[in-house]
Amino acid sequence: MMGLRRSRIPIKSERELDTMREAARHVGEILLEVREHIRPGVTTGELDEIAAKSIEKRGVRSSFKGYDPHGLPKYPAVLCVSVNDEIVHGIPGPRELADGDIVSLDFGVSVGGYHGDSAVTIPVGEIEAETARLLEVTRASLDDAMEVMRPGARLSDLGHAIQQRAESAGFGVVREFSGHGIGQELHEEPWIPNFGKPGRGPRLECGMVLAVEPMVTVGRPDVRMLDDEWTAVTADGSMSAHYEHTILVTEDGGEALTRLSGSH
């Protein structure tokens, strides 16, 4: 049965892709602007304000603010800022960044009805060698997934590549959060786990656009949710990194639409 069913992953037209490229470019540029302000003493709320001002100046729309997925409180900011043991969906506020922290920025906008979504983890000042290795490996796991994003590959090959890279480096892969299709919705079919056996699920085709977002931990990958109902932290308090791009499937492998020169 499953084998006969056509994939439900939407294929974007050239016209849609033009619009998605524009949304993705704004996401990449604003992330670069926010990154320039990362230093000890800046608050996570100030980073959110910088992103919000740039959104306004450009006349684009936040994909995150007011987002209301499963009857949780609406997401209150334009940026997710997750520090150290915070894995994902950290809410910006009065917390000051300190030397030795790592800070994950996750950001999305829409233009002409199409979304872009990207995340990056940045060191604050000097970080420990093991933490630097976490950042390198998490980024490399995303590059590995992009490498397999050619027509004919199976969806689960992505998560397999990510898990392989992270676990062979001795790190953990978070199970509770996944990548996703992206287009007219921020989250479209399919869900893309960052782990699993290869060779399963629908085949990729040119024109599919997927937001791939590995979350990797120094220690165990188990998750605990904070009382704000958004922020996910590692249960063991270990450091966690998060990288994401909005990626187009092409004959030559994934093309990261949110990657600009100078970005992750």
Q: Which of 81, 211, 256, 257 binds Co ion (CB under 5 A)?
A: 211
83 binds, among ligand MF3, Co ion, none (CB under 5 to 8 A by kind): none
Q: Which helix (DSSP H) or strand (DSSP E) does residue 167 occupy?
A: helix 156-168
67 binds, among Co ion, ligand MF3, none (CB under 5 to 8 A by kind): ligand MF3
Within a 10 A sphere around the Cβ of 7, how many other Cβ atoms? 15
Q: Which of 196, 213, 240, 256 binds ligand MF3 (CB under 6 A)?
A: 213
What's phi and psi for 200, nearest 5 deg? -120, 160
Q: Which of 16, 86, 101, 106 binds ligand MF3 (CB under 6 A)?
A: 106
Q: Which is nearer to ligand MF3, 179 or 201 (CB)?
A: 179
Q: Is 85 in the site for ligand MF3 (CB under 6 A)?
A: no
Give the chain's count of helices (H) and strands (E): 4, 15
Supply 231's token pair: 């922020």
Q: Is 191 in the site for ligand MF3 (CB under 6 A)?
A: no
Supply 129's token pair: 């060698």
Within a 10 A sphere around the Cβ of 203, how many other Cβ atoms? 13
- The footprint of ligand MF3 (CB under 6 A) covers 64, 67, 75, 80, 89, 106, 108, 117, 119, 180, 213, 244
- The footprint of Co ion (CB under 5 A) covers 117, 211
